[in-house]
Amino acid sequence: MDQEFDYVVVGGGTAGCAVAARLSEDPDVTVCLVEAGPSDVGDDAILDLSRWMELLESGYDWDYPIEPQESGNSWMRHARAKVLGGCSSHNSAIAFWAPRENLDAWAAQGCDGWTADECYPFYKKLETALDGAEQADAPGRGTDGPVTIRTVGDQDPCGEALLEACEEVGLPTTPFNTGRTVIRGANWFQVNANPDGTRSSASTAYIHPNLDRPNLSVWTGYRAEKLTFDTSGEKPRATGVRLRTPDQRRSVDITATRETILSAGAIDGPKLLMLSGIGPAEHLREVGIDVLVDSPGVGENLQDHPEGLVQWEALQEMPVVSTQWWQIGIFAGSEGRETPDLMYHYGSVPFDMNIVRYGYPTADNTFCLTPNVTGAQSKGTVRLSSRDFHDKPKVDPRYFSHEHDREVMIRGIRVAREIAASPALKEWVGRELAPGESAQTDEELFDYIRNTHNTVYHPSCTVKMGPDSDPLAPVDPQLRVRGVDGLRVADGSIMPDLITVNPCITTMMIGERCADFIRREA
């Protein structure tokens, strides 16, 4: 069963699909894409975007608990997709290019080659934008990429009233993805979805059309146990990956003669590196793993977008059909900022998964605003719980351990209430179900947040790239893992800092860039 390929991509997720598809465009190389979850081909539970919330805590979800939180919701779960396409097959498909300021900040930290001017052509390469006239200062939208981007256009009278209410409080309707960074404004989201309501995920865009390529092999159901290395030379060289077969009965090794690319995400990526002996030496020894490379930054720097909830009963009937139920974005950044520090998603369905435990009322006909801290300063870790690859890692986001995040979230609840009190929403806003009118002081609001907050499911930055001078940067700006040869990382874990918008399309861009680095060097 053991096989040999030129390139092995470990993780068939948002970035991994892009890497594998682009590398296999060269007919003279062989590529194997390995995914632990099942295929999504023909699976309406995955492909129908309107059903995305059914996937949370389902069989398609690794469903990671988090470590007890001193300042956050210890009951919270981190959804990580267990299916071809990764989180692009599992999320609400909100599509943003990263703000120019975010990417330029990466480059300023020593990530040469990652300015906005250098990254934006790769966004353009991956997308086909179906709507939206190009602005004069826009970076240029793609026209023939594999990923379809379009603006949500559902009939939602409550959403239309919400945009009017935002105007009334100084948050004007503003186009997204034009090249301008929106600090304060609102609009319907752009999504990576087809006009028929199906996902334009990394798997449907990059892999499905290319399944008949003779040089591309897609292995689903194979779970990675560890990366393999040849240690006979001066520096260890990655040789591929050891996999557990779908029936769980045996292990097989597949060999990468040129390079192995790890695209397992910000939780499973550092886990697999550590299981393979690359990580903080002291921690590896604690769990009984031989140290191959002492890389203290592996599993550090975990960043996320924490999310709160303000939910109301609706006085009129909410929509019963939707593209993906979370269709409007609102930016309410503090004045004087270059990027927004506060963002909302508008939900036209009940979102009570974290509030019923504490007795907050719910209803069938509701809408909500979910403030999230876009530039959270709290940083956490991913650590192994044991040397057994079956065991879930220890995920400790350390939510709200930084005062900045608390202040932004409290302001987020107050601004949400201000929007709801605007005349345009008078015919829609009923009783505030959560946090409820009795919560008014900063202390009362943060007590509610600490107990009930969620996440926008954007864990990132745990294998960050950086210059040679940064001892906590496990990968260099070409995404090569330091201390070994033949191994790169390409997924959201390589971000030095989490961007201030939904990162799915940026993660695809990272996959595009990784493939480009490899092909240029080859």
Q: Which of 515, 519, 440, 11 is CA-nearest to residue 262? A: 11
Taking the C-alpha atoms of residue 464 and residue 476, their distance in angstroms, rounded to an integer, is: 8
pLDDT in tens, 199-226: 999 999 999 999 999 999 999 999 999 9
Q: How many CB atoms lie within 10 A of CB 211?
A: 11
| For residues 499-505, average pLDDT | 98
pLDDT of 500: 98
pLDDT of 53: 95
β-bridge mates for residue 455, sequence order: 306
Q: Is the pLDDT of residue 137 over 60?
A: no
pLDDT in tens, 448-495: 999 999 999 999 999 999 999 999 999 999 999 999 999 999 999 999
Taking the C-alpha atoms of residue 20 and residue 206, their distance in angstroms, rounded to an integer, is: 8
Q: How many CB atoms lie within 10 A of CB 483?
A: 14
- Secondary structure of residue 511 in the 3-state scheme: helix
pLDDT of 1: 53
Question: Mind giving me the DSSP string for 307-368?
Answer: E--EEEEESSPPPS--SSSEEEEEEEPPTT-SS-SEEEEEESS---TTTGGGT----SSEEE
β-bridge mates for residue 372, sequence order: 307, 343
**What's the pTM value of the predicted model, to 2 decimals?**
0.97
Taking the C-alpha atoms of residue 281 and residue 274, their distance in angstroms, rounded to an integer, is: 9
Domains assigned to the chain: 3-47+200-302+460-521 (3.50.50.60), 153-188+307-374+401-452 (3.30.410.40)
Higher-confidence residue of 141 and 57: namely: 57
Q: Are 461 and 302 in contact (CB under 8 A)?
A: yes
Taking the C-alpha atoms of residue 153 and residue 218, their distance in angstroms, rounded to an integer, is: 35
pLDDT in tens, 345-381: 999 999 999 999 999 999 999 999 999 999 999 999 9
pLDDT of 283: 98
| 129 band by pLDDT with thresholds 50, 70 and 90 | confident
pLDDT of 2: 61
Average confidence score pLDDT of the chain: 96
pLDDT in tens, 275-315: 999 999 999 999 999 999 999 999 999 999 999 999 999 99
pLDDT of 141: 84
Residues taking part in catalysis: 458
pLDDT of 134: 45
| 136 band by pLDDT with thresholds 50, 70 and 90 | very low
Q: Report the percentage of the chain scoring pLDDT > 70.
A: 98
pLDDT in tens, 391-429: 999 999 999 999 999 999 999 999 999 999 999 999 999
Phi-psi region at 98: left, alpha or beta (left = phi > 0; alpha = psi -120 to 50): beta
pLDDT in tens, 6-55: 999 999 999 999 999 999 999 999 999 999 999 999 999 999 999 999 99
Strand 147-151 to 190-191 pairing? antiparallel
Taking the C-alpha atoms of residue 118 and residue 516, their distance in angstroms, rounded to an integer, is: 12
